[in-house]
Amino acid sequence: MARKLIAITACATGVAHTYMAEKALLKAAKKMGVLMKVETQGATGIGNKLTAKDVQIGEAVIFATDTKVRDADRFDGKKILQVNVSDPIKDAEKVINSALEAADKG
């Protein structure tokens, strides 16, 4: 059965890095056989908003952010991996593997 992760990407200005990180995570997840949904919190608002069901089935949450996550209380009780928004742009597979390890630690 495929692993399932969710993520939030957001940079300080909410423009380029937010979407570059989203694209990198989705591409790496597909390559790794991991199901992933990414919510962007950018200058134009929230894109691809995670639903309560998304949050429930996600084994862990990646916060690839350089700014405060909006509505972060939605993720109370979830394993959260906090990284800089540039980290998945540099090595998305490493970020995904770290999130899966966090999920496995219970």
pLDDT digits (tens, 9 = 90+) for 16-74: 999 999 999 999 999 999 999 999 998 889 999 999 999 999 999 999 999 999 999 99
Q: How many angstroms separate the CA atoms of 91 and 58, rounded?
A: 21
- Candidates 3.40.50.2000, 3.20.20.450, 2.40.37.10, 3.40.50.2300; correct CATH number of 2-103? 3.40.50.2300
pLDDT confidence bin for 98, thresholds 50/70/90: very high
pLDDT of residue 12: 87
**Domain segments of the chain: what residues?**
2-103
30 Cβ contact list (under 8 Å, min separation 6): none
Annotation says 87 is catalytic: no
Could you tell me the two tokens for 72?
């972060």
Q: How many angstroms separate the CA atoms of 99 and 86, rounded?
A: 16
Q: What is the pTM of this model?
A: 0.96
- Which of 11, 25, 69, 89 is labelled catalytic? 11
Q: How many angstroms separate the CA atoms of 92 and 77, rounded?
A: 24
